[in-house]
Amino acid sequence: MEASHAAYVAAHPTPMTPAAGYLFRMFREYQSNEVIVAHYNFTGKLYKNKYRDGLKPEAIVFLIICLLIVLENAVVLVAIWKNKKFHLPMYYLLGNLTFSDLLAGFTYMVNIITSGANTLKMTPVQWFLREGGVFITLAASIISLLAIAIERHVTMVRMKPYQGAKRGRMFALIGASWVLSVFLGILPIMGWNCMGSLEQCSTVLPLYSKSFILCCITVFSAILLAIVVLYIRIFRIVKSNTQRPGCGPQRKGLARKSQKYMALLKTVTIVLGVFIACWLPLFVLLLLDFCCPAQSCQVLFKADYFLGIAMINSLLNPIIYTLTSKDMRRAILRLLCSYCLLTKEGHMKKFGIPFLECSTSKTEVPSHRLEGLETTVSSGNFTPTTIKTIYPRMSKT
């Protein structure tokens, strides 16, 4: 009786609902290696045996760059962790940027090792995890730059940041940056992809939908624009206060603040210039990827070079965002070579990087009265006492 019932069930299976059928089909396709081969073949990536050979010389160069990114950012994180003077909200934001850059270097290193011939052995799930990891960490790095710009702008506008409110704002910015990055990164594996619709596929990322690529270009371009706008507003605030009329001691103070302002201008110009130089080529390539039909734009097959240029930003971020701070620079140098930095009397030797230096010996005083302008951009460590010293008229109003 039971055997006949089992035979009847096997011969007459229960019909699936449309939702269950879609999930079953998606699960089956996500585990099929043939999907990867079909998508890469459709986009033309299998023609030159790139995915049949091992690592090429340029891939080894990128691996070395990724290793430098990991080591460099790890040193910065250790310096922030070991020095209590850096346990401040803005340094936590810098630490978040450094951590995301470190993960970006690590995930891209894994991406390179598992590329080439290993790509065609993957299932779509493994492919989405590999590419999604790189996407999430790079997105977190970009959004962290926006979080830092927001914090600096709010600090300059309010002029009196209370530590408690600033700490809560810092945690909110860090949490929001990772939530948005993860959300964007998991959209393809959650269904926003081109599986089953080859004509909608990206050439650079053959399982990603072109519409998803366009969405990412739009989001990241908006982030870049927001960063530029915020820093322009910071410039205007600082410039309006450094140009206040004065005489006697006030005129000397104004000259010193003007020097600080010029150093500030140089630093942020480097920041924005490097960011745009590293990411703009990749943005243009992805925009071209959206516009070009499959196999019609040969430059799309060189996407690894464009992504490598974008990765260089993660290599330069610690230099630009932390080494412009004299305290951070000394902490890192002390961490790497403490014996090289101490004089016979036990004092710290003076080190300067003229191109990135935000303060000069002529304008630096023991009480750090003019440190506010530097730290506004370099570290954001802005206190009410410093504000009153720099802008006495504003502190009275």
Percent of the residues in the chain that have a pLDDT greater than 90, as a whole number:
21
CA 176 – CA 178 distance, rounded (Å): 6
* Distance spanning both ends of the chain, measured CA to CA: 93
| DSSP structure class, residue 289 | H
Q: In 3D, which of 94, 60, 178, 136 has the Cα closest to residue 375?
A: 94
CB within 8 Å of 390: residues ≥ 6 apart: 241, 257, 369, 370, 372, 373
| DSSP structure class, residue 84 | G
pLDDT confidence tier of residue 241, bands split at 50, 70 and 90: low
CA 123 – CA 291 distance, rounded (Å): 27
- Check residues 6 and 320 and name the one with the higher pLDDT: 320
The DSSP secondary structure of 142-192, one letter per residue, reads HHHHHHHHHHHHHHHHHS---HHHHHHHHHHHHHHHHHHHHHHHHTTTTT-
Range name among 109-123, 158-172, 279-293 with the lowest pLDDT average: 158-172
Render pLDDT for 356-368 as a digit per residue (tens, 0 to 9).
Answer: 444 433 333 333 3
> 13: which 2 tokens?
């299976």
Q: What's the one-letter identity of residue 133?
A: G
pLDDT higher than 70, residue 242: no
The DSSP secondary structure of 206-239, one letter per residue, reads TTBBHHHHHHHHHHHHHHHHHHHHHHHHHHHHHH
Mean pLDDT to the nearest integer, 121-140: 91
- Burial label, 75 (beta-carbon count in 10 A; 0-12, 13-18, 19+): middle
Report residue 309 CA to chain centroid gap.
13
pLDDT higher than 80, residue 269: no
Q: H/E element holding 72?
A: helix 57-82
Q: What is the pLDDT of residue 372?
A: 39
> 324: which 2 tokens?
């412009």
Q: What is the pLDDT of residue 183?
A: 94
Q: What is the pLDDT of residue 21?
A: 52
Q: What is the pLDDT of residue 92?
A: 84
pLDDT higher than 50, residue 355: no
Per-domain residue ranges of the chain: 29-396
Coil, strand or helix at 114: coil
Report residue 296 CA to chain centroid gap.
31
CA 36 – CA 46 distance, rounded (Å): 11
Q: What's 29-396's CATH class?
A: mainly alpha
Q: How many residues does the chain have?
A: 397
Q: What is the pLDDT of residue 171?
A: 87
Render pLDDT for 305-315 as a digit per residue (tens, 0 to 9).
Answer: 898 898 898 88
Q: What is the pLDDT of residue 88?
A: 73
pTM of the model: 0.76
> 182: which 2 tokens?
């993860």
Q: In 3D, which of 206, 213, 60, 195 has the Cα closest to residue 135?
A: 213
Q: In 3D, which of 70, 91, 71 has the Cα closest to residue 82?
A: 91
